Chain A
Amino acid sequence: EAQVTQNPRYLITVTGKKLTVTCSQNMNHEYMSWYRQDPGLGLRQIYYSMNVEVTDKGDVPEGYKVSRKEKRNFPLILESPSPNQTSLYFCASSPGDRAGFTGELFFGEGSRLTVL
């Protein structure tokens, strides 16, 4: 089954404790991206990767890091989480080297992160 898989789906952690949210896609997509969803703000892009050689910041990259060592994986790293990073996080992928190449993003099921 073609899918984008995120883990963990739910996580409660404490301020300053490093964590990684994994994202893996099995569709051989070039493009991958991370979004966070907050009430009243919609989805905001954190980082995106056009392919394994290109990664760039989105609108809200502060406090996050990403890694694209291989095509299928795009982990989101919070080196020192803070309460303002409490949010719902989505990973997405797309076959082209830009989302508009196919006009469709394939989303994971989301990861609910709470930072105390």
Chain B
Amino acid sequence: AQTVTQSQPEMSVQEAETVTLSCTYDTSENNYYLFWYKQPPSRQMILVIRQEAYKQQNATENRFSVNFQKAAKSFSLKISDSQLGDTAMYFCAFLQGGNTGKLIFGQGTTLQVKP
């Protein structure tokens, strides 16, 4: 069974600095999707970024980028120029292959951006 592991329960960063959140996953599949979701204090889940496994190029969305290492099964999220509004819990997620639509989430990392 696929698993997603986020080994950093909590992290903090100074405003305007860069921070990297780690995620590893385990799968025997070759084609899959990876995601980072953000959950601010409002509890609403928001998609931050998506990566297709068949694409070697790392996905970027403005200040958010990923470092996708397929062989190492690693999928880290880098947040540049951190802002106070980035304070949230971040979840790494894996989309299972087949026709299940099953999105498997990691345990989450709470990020605190300090002024």
- Would B91 and A103 count as touching, CB distance under 8 A? no
Write out, one digit per residue, whether chain B residues 15-49 have a CB within 8 A of any chain A CB (1) or not (0): 00000000000000000010100000011111100
Residue of B nearest to A111 (CB): B43
Other-chain contact of A99, B42, B52, B101 (Cβ < 8 Å): B101
In the complex with contacts A42-B108, A99-B95, A103-B50, A33-B45 CB distance below 8 A = no
Taking A48-B100, A100-B101 as contacts, is the C-beta distance between A42 and B33 under 8 angstroms? no
- Report yes or no: A103 in contact with B35, Cβ–Cβ below 8 A: yes
Q: In the complex, what residues of B have CB within 8 A of residue A107's CB?
A: 44-46
Total A-B pairs, Cβ < 8 A: 64
Q: Interface centre among B44, B101, B102, B104, by most A CB within 10 Å?
A: B101
Q: Indicate if the CB atoms of A42 and B105 lie closer than 8 Å.
A: yes
Cα-based distance from A97 to B47 in the complex (angstroms): 18
For B35, give the chain A residue with the smallest CB separation: A103
Complex CA–CA separation, A48 to B95 (angstroms): 14
CB contacts under 8 Å to B, within A59-116, are: 59, 88, 90, 92, 94, 97-100, 103-105, 107, 109-110
Can you list 5 A-B contacts (CB < 8 A)? Answer: A40-B9, A43-B91, A103-B95, A110-B43, A110-B44
Given A50-B99, A109-B44, 17 new contacts (CB under 8 A): A31-B101, A42-B106, A44-B105, A45-B102, A45-B103, A50-B101, A59-B102, A92-B45, A98-B101, A99-B101, A100-B95, A103-B33, A103-B35, A104-B50, A107-B44, A109-B43, A110-B43
